[in-house]
């Protein structure tokens, strides 16, 4: 995955011309999940909403295939860069950053699963 594949932008930021623009507020149920404690919302497999899981997974597949996405949150005016520091994401309130974190986490799991399949399940992380 390219480091610049997923970018979070604020209300006043412009989207990249070569990226798909996603709006956090257009995904029904996403904010409700991301409002929970980190332990709950970061456990993708425990989400009750299949449609929100499918949205995250489909965006992760897009990123895995090389597509760039910009996630526009509706809680920040400007966002300079996504901090990959998990502690900042845990404490933060930004839905865009939390969404990006989950997409990147699922991309990592896709990459790991592919590596395991290619080595007959003997690959160990």
| pLDDT mean by block of 10 residues, the chain; 125 residues | 81 92 94 92 92 96 95 83 63 88 94 84 55
Listing DSSP states for the chain in one string gives --TTSEEEE-TTSPPPTTEEEEEGGGSTTHHHHHTS-HHHHT-GGG-S-HHHHHHHHHHHHHHHTT-EEEEE-SS-S--------HHHHHH---HHHHHHHHHHHHHHHHHHHHHHHHTTT----
Amino acid 64: pLDDT: 95
Q: Check residue 98 and give its pLDDT.
A: 93
pLDDT at 124: 56
Sorted by where each begins, the domain ranges of the chain are 6-118
Question: What confidence score (pLDDT) does residue 34 get?
Answer: 93
């Amino acid at each position: 995955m390219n480091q610049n594949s997923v970018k979070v932008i604020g209300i006043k930021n412009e989207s990249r011309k070569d990226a798909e623009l996603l709006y956090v507020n257009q995904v029904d149920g996403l904010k409700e999940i991301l409002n929970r404690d980190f332990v709950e919302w970061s456990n993708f497999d425990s989400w009750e909403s299949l449609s929100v899981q499918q949205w995250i997974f489909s965006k992760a597949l897009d990123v895995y295939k090389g597509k760039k996405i910009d996630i526009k949150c509706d809680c920040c005016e400007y966002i300079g860069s996504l901090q990959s520091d998990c502690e900042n994401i845990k404490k933060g309130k930004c839905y865009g950053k939390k969404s990006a974190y989950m997409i990147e986490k699922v991309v990592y799991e896709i990459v790991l699963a592919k590596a395991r399949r290619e080595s007959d399940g003997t690959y160990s992380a």
